[in-house]
Amino acid sequence: MAVQVSVIATSSLGDRSYLATDGRVAVVVDPQRDIDRIVYLAGERGVRISHVVETHIHNDYVSGGLELARVTGARYLVAAADEVGFDRVPVADGDVVDVSDGLRIRVVATPGHTFHHLSYVLDEAGDDGWSAAGVFTGGSLLFGTTGRTDLLGQQYAHELAHHQHASARRLADLLPDGARVWPTHGFGSFCSASQADAPESTIGGEKRSNPVFRLAADRFVTETLAGLDAYPAYYAHMGVANAAGPAPVDLTPVTRADAGELRARIAAGEWVVDLRHRKAYATSHLAGTVSLGLDGPMSTWLGWLIDWGVPITLLAETPEQVADAQRELVRIGIDRPAAQATGQPEQWATDRADLRRLTVADFPALAAARAGDTPHGLPAPQVVLDVRMTDEWNAGHIDGAVHVPLPDLPKRLADVPAGAVWVHCGSGYRATAAASLLANAGREVVLIDDMFDRADQAGVRMAAA
């Protein structure tokens, strides 16, 4: 049968893993740490996982490759040039690995995202010999962009960007236009230099649309480096964990906490995270908690905001939601939450005095309030706080707003001017997290739960371009 490639998406982190099979054996590429999803898919396909391959030592998640190879008996392919603390099959540019009579992978050095980054060409046998079905590009050639080059430090970003340009062009020279491109990053991951919405692509498609093929090397490097915004702080721990060899995950339920314990943990400065939707959080929540709903990239923002190692307690409506959060967190190396509680805020509070609510508004209300007609029950907006990222702010922002990106807010609460704070982001998710942090610091806060692209049409004055 023809080769089949299945996508295992981890949308919360913006990454994809892959299972490629000829119907009998399979190759898994860049697996996430929760490998049960991949084992289940292989069982569903009725195939044996014979090879697990890593395109690079990942900086944005903890890999499941070592454990997947252990439990399946698969050969584990990792770049020979990478120094790792575990046994693997070392591979380098030009190596050819036979998977079966009808399937093989060719190793291509594609430095740029990291120094030792590899891509893997997937070849299938036909009547006329071997042909390239596609290439697993990891953090090299992505859909409409390339992987960012600054994750190993700014001192290497310029050199790696030149490598990235050359690597993309090497793949284009090596492969036919019809070959599929299967990247790991680029679907919201901060490992991507920019974002694209394409669900699939080919070498020919990228040659027509990707700036790496349109721009000369120096121009590509300049534009790529200029477009890079901050990336999550927890990335500092991912490469270290992956090079050492990640431990197996434990997704069993964690200890339940009663109302008294929750209050004690909050008083001790630990993080107690409310996983419910932001509208439920605004209606009622336990004072001192932080809102990071499961409907958004909870693990990314939590891992970015906390001091690494601080105990985390999870609050949700159901045990299933806590389990989902645990799965998200092990992917970034937060292995065991300190405790959990499920139900409703009334069950988490020692008394009703422990319950709080957030005042909520939208951009039309902000426009009216700034014009002197503050809607009933809302404080006048003495401060408008924008917690979006710097590239979003530079693309357009509200006139007179204060900018503190959400990841910086825990350490910059004192930089927010005095007075009632109306806080917004791009949609309301990050603004709710920010509002919870501000309220916990004793600030009077109004959450703008609205889409930023509605601000201008609502009459909110924007800063001159």
Structural contact between residues 445 and 407, judged by C-beta atoms closer than 8 angstroms: no
* Domain-located, residue 83: yes
Task: Based on the fold, state whether residues 91 and 195 are members of the same structural domain.
Answer: yes
Number of independent structural domains in the chain: 3
Pair 75, 212 in one domain: yes
Per-residue pLDDT at 127? 82
Statement to judge: residues 364 and 348 lie in one domain: no
Cβ neighbours around 252 below 10 Å, total: 8
Degrees, nearest 5: CA angle 60-62-67: 155
- Helix or strand or coil: residue 243? helix
Structural domain boundaries, residue 331? 259-356
Q: Is residue 254 part of a domain?
A: no
Q: Are residues 44 and 171 in the same domain?
A: yes
Residue 374's pLDDT is 82
* Per-residue tens of pLDDT for the chain, all 465 residues: 689 999 999 988 989 999 999 999 999 999 999 999 999 999 999 999 999 999 999 999 999 999 999 999 999 999 999 999 999 999 999 999 999 999 999 999 999 999 999 999 999 998 888 999 999 999 999 999 999 999 999 999 999 999 999 999 999 999 999 999 999 997 766 655 555 556 789 999 999 999 999 999 999 999 999 988 899 999 999 999 999 999 999 999 999 999 999 999 999 999 999 999 999 999 999 999 999 999 999 999 999 999 999 999 999 999 999 999 999 999 999 999 999 999 999 999 999 999 999 999 999 999 999 998 888 889 999 999 999 999 999 999 999 999 999 999 999 999 999 999 999 999 999 999 999 999 999 999 999 999 999 999 999 999 987
DSSP 190: T
Amino acid at 214: R
Verify that 337 and 376 share a domain, yes or no. no
Strands of 228-277 (E only): list them: 271-274
Whether 237 and 302 map to the same domain: the answer is no
DSSP letter, residue 81: T
Q: Report residue 212 as tokens.
A: 């790496």
Count other Cβ atoms within 10 Å, centred on residue 312: 23
**DSSP character at residue 26:** E
Q: Please, what is the Cα angle at 263 between 260 and 266, to 5 degrees?
A: 150
CATH of residue 133's domain is: 3.60.15.10
Of 287, 321, 356, which one is at a domain's C-terminal end?
Answer: 356
Q: Pick the closest to residue 306 from 283, 347, 338, 280 (CA basis).
A: 338
- Same domain? 207 vs 156: yes
* Residue 253 forms part of a structural domain: no
418: which residues sit within 8 A by CB, 6+ positions away? Answer: 382, 383
pLDDT computed for residue 5 by the predictor: 96
Assess whether 174 and 310 both reside in one domain: no
**CA–CA separation, 266 vs 243, rounded Å?**
34
Q: Please indicate, yes or no, if residue 411 is contained in any of the structural domains.
A: yes
Contacting residues for 128 by C-beta, under 8 A, at least 6 apart: none
Q: How many C-alpha atoms does 67 have within 13 Å on its Cβ side?
A: 17
- Judge if 75 and 182 occupy the same domain: yes
Residues 188 and 281 in one domain: no
Report the distance separating Cα 358 and Cα 68, nearest Å: 44
* 349 and 367 share one domain: no
Specify the DSSP class assigned to residue 193: S
Measured between alpha carbons, how far is 448 from 380 in angstroms, rounded to an integer?
13
DSSP bridge pairs for 89 = 77
Show which of 313, 331, 356 is a domain's final residue: 356
* Same domain, residue pair 306 and 394: no
Query: What is the C-alpha to C-alpha distance for residues 49 and 24, in angstroms, rounded to an integer?
Result: 9
CATH number at residue 411: 3.40.250.10
